[in-house]
Structures are given as C-alpha cells and as structure tokens.
Amino acid sequence: MAYPAKYRYTKQHEWVDVNGDIATIGITDYAQHELGDVVFVELPKPGAKITAGKSFGTVESVKAVSEIYAPASGEVVEANGELQNTPEKVNSDPHGAAWLIKVRLANPAELKELMDAPAYEAFIADKGKEASA
C-alpha cells in the first residue's frame, strides 16, 4: 500500500494529514500489518486534549493491545465513530476511511519533527531488515 506523499509519519507508525489548523491522524499500513486483525479501537472524545508523543488511544488486534501516540498536540474535534462497529477498516483502509481522530493543532511547528513519505518508507524498510536478521 502506498504511503501518501501529503502525510507526515511518526516512528511509532502514526500518520498525520494537515489541512489548515486541522490534522487528521491514523495508523499506517505497516502498523495495521504488524497488529493483524484489528477488533477494537478506543479513541478520545471531542474536546479532549492530546499531547505530542503521549498516548491518546488504543488499537487492539486479536493478539495484542497497542497504544496510539499523538504526532502533535491539540484538541480533538472529531473521533471516527464508524470504527466502533467496523474496526476491521483499520486493516483494509488504514490511510483513508480508518482515520482515527481530527485535531485542532496547538503548535503546528511540532510537525516539522516528523518524517515525509520517502523517509518513513526507508525507516520501515530498515525495520524489516532488522526483523529478518
């Protein structure tokens, strides 16, 4: 699955798509693949504050629980309620329909720390090498 050029990526495998002062956040295709069958998504409610680098929710597969870390700080304006009934969308469309939350950014400068798509692809390619070594 392609990594959209417009998105920015974290080392914990979240993506962020910025439109004005609103950032949409999700997990990457690499992340959903590592997790396996996603069966449960727990997200903050609108109004909640999230902090860059801190956990804001969890995604669970059959076998494991994974925390989701905020790529940037801000206030949640919307959570993807669809995922409560169709968590498997995280596997099938992680970069699109399975976005997790929309956030009003507190400090857009934080995003400068994140990777662009080619850098992220190189990052996960290295991880792949580590795993098969």
Over the range 68-90, which residues count as b (16 or more CB within 10 Å of their CB) and which as e?
Answer: bbbbbbbebebbbeebeeebebb
Comparing CA positions, the residue from 90, 83, 85, 82 lying closest to residue 31 is 90
The reply on whether position 14 binds other proteins by CB under 8 A is yes
Residue 57: its H or E element:
strand 55-61
From 16-24, 29-37, 106-114, 116-124, give the range in contact with other proteins by CB under 8 A: 29-37
Number of residues lying near other proteins (CB under 8 A): 29
Site for other proteins (CB under 8 A): which residue of 8, 9, 56, 66?
66
Chain positions 67 to 106 lying near other proteins, rule: CB under 8 A, are 67-69, 84
Rounded to whole angstroms, the Cα distance separating 55 from 74 reads: 13
Q: Are 85 and 59 in contact (CB under 8 A)?
A: no
- Which of 20, 72 has the CB closer to other proteins? 72
The reply on whether position 1 binds other proteins by CB under 8 A is no
Binding residues for other proteins (CB under 8 A)? 12-14, 27-28, 31, 33-37, 39-40, 42, 58-69, 84, 131-132
